[in-house]
Structure 1
Amino acid sequence: MNKEEIITEAKNWMQSHFKNEMTGHDWSHIKRVWKLSKDIHSNEGGDLFTIELAALFHDYADTKLTNNETKATETLIEWMETEEMPTNQIQQIIRIIQAVSFKNGKNAIKAITIEEKIVQDADRLDAIGAIGIARTFTYGGAHNREIANLDNPKNTTLQHFYDKLLLIPNRLNTKTAKNIAIEKQQIMQYFIQSLEKELNN
């Protein structure tokens, strides 16, 4: 099976696997990260096949979406082995996936290679801007989070913007992603200012 066929198989598998996901980590999110990864790659370089597969697989073993991260990772490895992919490439893709996770900013696995940086940037770009706002409130609603509480902001969806999302532009790796993030950051800042103004009325 050639690389294009492997990408198609991976796309079909992830589309089916995430069809009932309703927390903002759905197939639409994966598809956007996949596209963003390709867009960033066009300026930044790297191995496109590795980037595409990692982007398509990046949420499969996410601890927010599976009860057994180890088993999910093993399933990904087995799938790639079935496609007769080289062991070193499989290991590279798994490391990219592990480097993507934010883990409250304390992920021990740092993005080092250009492939790791690109997929991490693409995933983080989809967490900010207008789509990021929509996804954040979708996730908050799915986990029974209060929208906002100015007296006790901890664990509210609004606080998540301050704890993570507004910090993302300064933590991006590539010049391409940083340029994309400028408008997205402005959208979030305007939204938060407007929301807090209305909450204070």
Structure 2
Amino acid sequence: MTPRHFTESLKQQGLDWLTTHQSDAAHDLDHILRVFTSARQLGQEEGADPDILLPAALLHDCVSIDKRDPRRSQASILSADAAVAWLAERHYPTELLEPIHHAIASHSWSAGLETQTLEARVLQDADRLDALGAIGTARCLMLGGQWQSALYHGDDPFARGRQYDDNRYCLDHFYVKLQHLAGQLKTDAGQREGDRRWRWMEGFIQQLQSELPE
């Protein structure tokens, strides 16, 4: 379905605005564009309204707060507020602003808000898919390096005899969070893609197990 209100011109204006709102390397403009592309693909399969979904996907991270910041749980709500304000300034249809706000506010893991619309579920799936597969693995390791985390626990890399600590070890994050994401996706299209990406990550972990001493 072709959007009636979310034009290419408006998309480019959004991209120009977002260049001044860069966050860490794993949540940069490239992340936003990947989520946008995934959301568009999933939305087409699921029958979502592109005039709600596409602006929400483009602007879902327009306010960035470090994941370790105590205000992190408010980031998606702040992004939703900023996004609808930006759209309203450009005379986007008023009746679309509330569902866009909801989709952005509820997409985040840390916000803990229930997704109540198809567009919100699609956006949440698209965002979580970016934490899976090859790109998800690269982002996890990139963030770990940025936060000066060790790649793995030197004596017990796969936590056979210790508690997971993904604040200190990148590999632990696979078990603490990433392995659960595929099962939490809410659309049929998202689940199919999530399963495919998690299988790739399982192969990566198996390869690590063959290379690392235990």
Taking structure 1 as the reference length, what is the TM-score of the superposition?
Answer: 0.86
* Residue 180 (structure 1) shift: 1.2
Structure with greater proportional helix content: 1
Distance in 1 of aligned mates of 2:100 and 2:84: 9
Select 1:111's aligned residue among 106, 109, 115: 115
Aligned to 2:37: 35
Aligned to 1:17: 20
Alignment of 1:52-131 (within 5 A): 52-64=54-66, 69=75, 73-103=80-110, 107-131=111-135
* Residue 64 (structure 1) shift: 2.4
Aligned to 1:47: 49
> CA, structure 1 residues 170+177, in 2 after alignment: closer, same or farther (shift >3 Å)?
same
Which AA in structure 2 matches 1:164? K
State whether residues 51 and 96 of structure 2, in contact with CA within 8 Å, keep that contact through their aligned partners in structure 1: no
State whether residues 79 and 104 of structure 2, in contact with CA within 8 Å, keep that contact through their aligned partners in structure 1: no
Of structures 1 and 2, the one with the larger relative CO (CA 8 A, separation 6+) is 1
Distance in 1 of aligned mates of 2:135 and 2:201: 10
- Where structure 1 has 5 or more consecutive residues not aligned to the other structure, the ranges are none
* Residue 133 (structure 1) shift: 0.3
- Where structure 2 has 5 or more consecutive residues not aligned to the other structure, the ranges are none
* Residue 52 (structure 1) shift: 0.7
* Residue 72 (structure 1) shift: 5.2
Distance in 2 of aligned mates of 1:98 and 1:196: 38
Taking structure 2 as the reference length, what is the TM-score of the superposition?
Answer: 0.81
Select 1:162's aligned residue among 175, 186, 190: 175
* Residue 108 (structure 1) shift: 3.0
State whether residues 81 and 101 of structure 2, in contact with CA within 8 Å, keep that contact through their aligned partners in structure 1: no
Distance in 2 of aligned mates of 1:33 and 1:71: 18
* Residue 171 (structure 1) shift: 0.4
> CA, structure 1 residues 71+173, in 2 after alignment: closer, same or farther (shift >3 Å)?
closer
Aligned to 2:185: 172
Task: Find the residue that maps to 2:131 and give its secondary structure.
Answer: coil
